[in-house]
Chains A and B, each alone.
Chain A
């Protein structure tokens, strides 16, 4: 008998703990369909960005008005068109299409930094068929006058506002850069989060050395990046209790990574880079690999596996909490050709 891969996340029953995380691919209903066929437990759509909605509206308006009413022969340069579908409308239409195309839960994603009129999109996402929402808190706090406390307070308000707007479950995707993450995580749950997704990876800017321009490049994750979410899921799982959904994301590349994430307490393991690198089929190999690993290690179900190695269950929980870089460094051996 093969291992039972079913799991529960945000109150949703999933057939597998492997969730296709937000990538440009999940914006295509046809690809989502293939992800479902490959065995994904759920899918997270690309994020709808607050700035995108705003910028697009302003930019569209600017370019449509450019040159208007300046010269008698050309009082405008574009036809009068009613009913533009902004990025928000297009997102919703796509969500609806995706929802119709697959049976697995579809999680819509909102990326926001402020509490604005766009919060209504949370409700609209729900109305368009989203099974759950993922609120992506994604910001670089570069303002020297803003304290961590203020920033966190605003984030919590934001979570509460989105929570108030919807009845479907709400996950909050966090960055690891909170000074007191455990405290903030508890606050987020209190503010209405049904689950947490750990962690957001920032796209860090790069320099193009030829043009000397700052460029935004997407770099895919590496398996090593799983360590950070593993630590925090291990810590948070007992603190938050079984009712709060936890998703591991960043560095899920192999079935062993999935197993690790589940072991420390994640309900699901989300993968983006591995799928982008290896294609949709990766989902199936992750699921097959997980099942094989579980069988090999005589686990019957994800339920059994999940959280069995969280901070409350391991022999020395402090290992998750201590900043044990000394030990880590000592264990790192410098390659011979670099040794002096």
Chain B
């Protein structure tokens, strides 16, 4: 059998089959399944045909629910349809899945199985999602490796057509979906052989057609529904047989034989593990190791989970089996056991109860949970399961890979047990930064080895939870045997440290085998590098006999014009040191790979990479270890003053020891303290802003635009001057005799440079020098650290002494959103920071899933912070699709609590004092001073209540906080607001309730990697719109304005910061719903993020993004509800779009379409501007309002008029 081998990941392996065998593919992004959809969209955009020569229609929908609905419709019309999803996305498909299965419609959903959001969201892999699709009637086929994801994708498509039962084909998220492995690729002939033409035609012939009309989806009554539900039984019963037939046909063509249940191990095994998915790899290695030692153990791999192959399972078990452990990668709280366990117990019990009992005595069955959210599953975790099975009284239920000191379910990890690696195999680890190209180079290396040699190769990549300055770890294995190790490298033969700053990373040398090779990128020569290593690193190098090589890769990369991309400098060194290929051949292949990757973007990049490759090896030198220094004292990362939880738990998460944290240390309900990013000093900026007080004009713009709240402004009385903290006179008539200081937090800055870009103050003698300039981090670190500490100690002015409606004023309010892990230069975070400056001490946040929920609350730390009084935003994320409703619920509760509190104040009036009671309920809280005064009253109230002993008093105490005005902020991106959450958003807008909705509009699904949303503008290229988006952007503001009682604003901080502040203040003040659409620059725009704010300016200047505020109640004399806040466009749209890759790319791929869309874009902008100009001229006529003398209307009251 001639095999064609490629080295690809699980997502691509499955997507290739799905694409080839589909006519309609409805898609929606969700990690870790998005890449399957992206591949299909890319292939369709490139005109790649499916098996029948047609280009499938790949259509993005507004949600997974929509994707399943569209798929259902396509199937009913007789098309072959597929989709891809994971996690809660699959849950959204479930209603349609019942329908598809109920109607016996052949279909395949490919799932990169992922944890469900419960106490927390997790993007990582387990079976929680697919286990919730059990009841739908879909057949469920489980692939445990990249090869299986490829093979089973075909089996699923073939079997669904033969059986008419739809299939859910799943494999483990990340572990399989993102693992790169060398696999044998199925040919078109294989596909043609297994997918029978008659089945395709039969499916097509069942289609809805007016020529032979039928009706489906009837409503049935008690008389027949039940019988009709049973009528399909034979089809489901036939599925196992059909799947096995397809497996056998596949084996005949490829030699790869699978069974519904595969047994591996000793034929006379007494202890057997039953497992499904990628963990089978780790279990198989353990079994092989134990069997080699003569132990009677074995394992069963379940391939078809539903319909559950009971008979095959019983038949596959050795007759000698005495005890069985069933491993489930999911958790169902309250259940007797997890699904696979229950199925097995039932199957065995039924078998034993039959006339032909398979075993003399029923084997003991225990069940365990493992691997939730990609928790590692290694042989050292599997081995204790066999030990447990051997014990006299094994735990009936257990967990693996964690330490459960609460319910004591966990089995210990046997760290002494190691699986002996096959001879000739090499394991390699690479530590790098996301920005240096390490992962890209390693992906290329895996492919080079996999496709250029006879060796097998595997690559798996770990990313941390930050979007800027993230550390990546690449795990590579290659060797003469197929690699089934479905876990991270535990003992590396080769370790590369691509950033000198990472050499202290604990895992780096911990995971190095004795005698391993260490390749270090260092800015030091071979003679000086040893002395620059920390003593602890020197010690390990000497003790483990590590072979140290060093190269100054940054110097090489800079010389050839590659900037910080050191990937192609480091790559030849890896090949040379690992000896996997002769140097010449390796270099030729690396160059070939570079050409493949970059040639389509032009020769310049290829040539620079070639130059880097050519310069590489000559610059690598061997280092002989010198004397080991005295051990330096380890500085504690976390100050002793930090809260206990931060010291005990957060600190360990930051240190990378999260796996070691016991169950008892974790919050039971997913509740975490805020204000923790301040303890995570990441020091990731190569250069930081440095203030020159002599030039500063006090404008506050730097602090206003900082996406990370790491450059701040404070104004304080000149008497409070601090020695060593630079300051200058604050120029303000209202605040004479005050000083101003602008200060950077050097270890929290990402070095994005946005502050320098916006700084308008230039030196009179050197216009290149501004009041803020980037300076080398190491040169300024120590002095700025000292200054930052002093700066924090300077008491800020009282909030009510600050004109918060000005840029200068707002910029010096304390940010309660700080140091997030968002991308450097993020366009969203400045808005969030500003909102917390204005309202942070009295806001609750409902945050849609997306970038803002990730940089907002991805462990280990959260940027949502607190002030000195401990007040700050309270934040929660529910889901992606329900965020508006979630926030509305908060408002409903808040209003009810306020109502109850006010009523209790009345009831207790004479105990707490009539005048205090009156003042509290009638307080004017429209200003900062009004709110401050109310806080004073509430404090007074609490003091009085403390002395009362009554139910009412206790109740009022618990509600007293709600007497101070609170704002509900509903925050999310355009994917939420325009697409998946639009229905709810629309409902909330129509509710009339007092909520503030902030849409951080990046015009794409940023968090999942830039897929188009309905906010994506015409002419932009995005994922899922690879051919350029042909339709225009939805005008969300117009929809909201149509209600008449919604405050609507379109803002852009970079274009007009004062308007941004005004809009936020007006939204907060408006007692009904407010919608603020904030233009947010994003790396998915393909711009230089240091110029983030300049791009915003151009967007407004060109009329691409007009600024406006629509106020439902007109309080000024001119009676115009719609205020157009930006000037008439002064540059053409084409000038704006030419500067952004998302638009410019289309000119490079499809110039004709680009030209056509460019014209339409200009027309869109012209049209919108004309329309807005007209709106701005419309007087509002609301007689009943005028009758009330311009008083704001009540929440919920409808107002007509406006633009309608």
Contact = CB atoms under 8 A, between A and B. Distances in A.
Interface core residue of B437, B472, B607, B1141 (most chain A CB under 10 Å): B1141
B434 interface: yes
B437 A69 contact: yes
B578 interface: no
B602 A67 contact: no
Nearest to B824: A67
Contacts of A81: 42, 45-46, 600, 1021, 1026, 1145, 1149
Given A58-B605, A63-B1087, A81-B1026, A93 B1151 contact: yes
Contact of A84 (B604, B1083, B1148): B1148
Contact of B463 (A53, A65, A72, A85): A72
Contact of A69 (B31, B45, B439, B607): B439
B470 A78 contact: no
Nearest to B30: A73
Given A81-B1149, A117-B607, A74 B602 contact: no
A54 interface: yes
Contact of B1021 (A61, A71, A74, A79): A79
A73 B434 contact: no
A241 B277 CA distance: 84
Given A57-B604, A76-B1009, A212 B435 contact: no
Contacts of A71: 434, 463, 466-467, 470
A151 interface: no
B597 to A, nearest CB: 10
Contact of B1148 (A58, A69, A70, A90): A90
B373 to A, nearest CB: 12
B123 interface: yes
A179 B984 CA distance: 74
A56 B472 CA distance: 29
Contacts of A83: 600, 1149
A80 B437 CA distance: 17
A57 B1009 contact: no
A57 B601 contact: yes
Contacts of A276: none
A82 B32 CA distance: 24
Interface in B1077-1094: 1083-1084, 1086-1089
Interface residues of A, number: 35
Given A86-B1148, A212-B762, A79 B602 contact: no
Contacts of B1089: 66
Contact of B434 (A57, A64, A69, A93): A69
A68 interface: yes
A117 B1009 contact: no
Contacts of A82: 46, 600
Contacts of B614: none
A66 B604 CA distance: 17
Contacts of A74: 467, 1006-1010
Nearest to A89: B1148
B1008 A58 contact: no
A75 interface: yes
A77 interface: yes
A58 B443 CA distance: 22
Contacts of A72: 31-32, 123, 174, 178, 463
A60 interface: yes
Given A79-B1026, A81-B1026, A61 B605 contact: yes
B598 interface: yes
Contacts of B565: 65
A80 B439 CA distance: 17
A67 B46 CA distance: 24
A53 B41 contact: no
B241 interface: no
Nearest to A72: B463
A64 B1009 CA distance: 12
A54 B46 CA distance: 26
B480 interface: no
Contacts of B1141: 60, 63-64, 78
B917 interface: no
B461 interface: yes
Interface string B450-462: 0000000000010
Interface string B600-634: 11111101100000000000000000000000000
A78 B1143 CA distance: 11
B470 A70 contact: yes
Contacts of A61: 598, 601-602, 605
A56 to B, nearest CB: 7
A121 B1051 CA distance: 46
Contacts of A75: 35, 1009
Interface of A is mostly: loop
Contacts of B46: 81-82
Interface residues of B, number: 68
B1147 interface: yes
B854 interface: yes
B767 A212 contact: yes
Interface in A12-67: 53-54, 56-58, 60-61, 63-67
B29 to A, nearest CB: 9
B823 interface: yes
B440 interface: yes
Interface centre among B433, B435, B466, by most chain A C-beta atoms within 10 angstroms, is B435
Contacts of B433: 70
A90 B440 CA distance: 29
Given A71-B467, A71-B470, A74-B1007, A85 B434 contact: no
A144 B1086 CA distance: 37
Nearest to B466: A71
B61 interface: no
Given A66-B1083, A81-B1149, A73 B601 contact: no
B993 interface: no
A275 B573 CA distance: 58
B605 A73 contact: no
Interface in B1145-1204: 1145, 1147-1149, 1151
Interface in B244-278: none
A7 B83 CA distance: 67
A122 B603 CA distance: 16
Contact of A78 (B463, B600, B608, B1021): B1021
A84 B1149 CA distance: 5
A70 B463 contact: yes
B42 A70 contact: no
B1005 to A, nearest CB: 9
B1023 interface: yes
B38 interface: yes
B1022 interface: yes
Given A57-B601, A60-B601, A66 B42 contact: no
B123 A64 contact: no
B195 to A, nearest CB: 26
Contacts of B463: 69-72
A67 B823 contact: yes
Interface in B370-398: none
A221 B237 CA distance: 86
A69 B439 CA distance: 6
B854 A73 contact: yes
Contact of B604 (A58, A68, A78, A80): A58
11 contacts: A54-B604, A63-B1141, A69-B440, A70-B433, A70-B463, A80-B39, A81-B1145, A83-B600, A86-B602, A93-B1151, A117-B603
Given A64-B601, A90-B1148, A117-B603, 4 more contacts: A66-B1086, A74-B1007, A78-B1141, A85-B1149
The 4 A-B pairs of least Cβ separation, nearest first, read: A70-B434, A57-B602, A74-B1009, A79-B1026
Interface of B: 31-32, 34-35, 38-39, 41-42, 45-46, 123, 174, 178, 433-435, 437-440, 443, 461, 463, 466-468, 470, 472, 561, 565, 598, 600-605, 607-608, 762, 767, 823, 854, 1006-1010, 1021-1026, 1083-1084, 1086-1089, 1141-1142, 1144-1145, 1147-1149, 1151
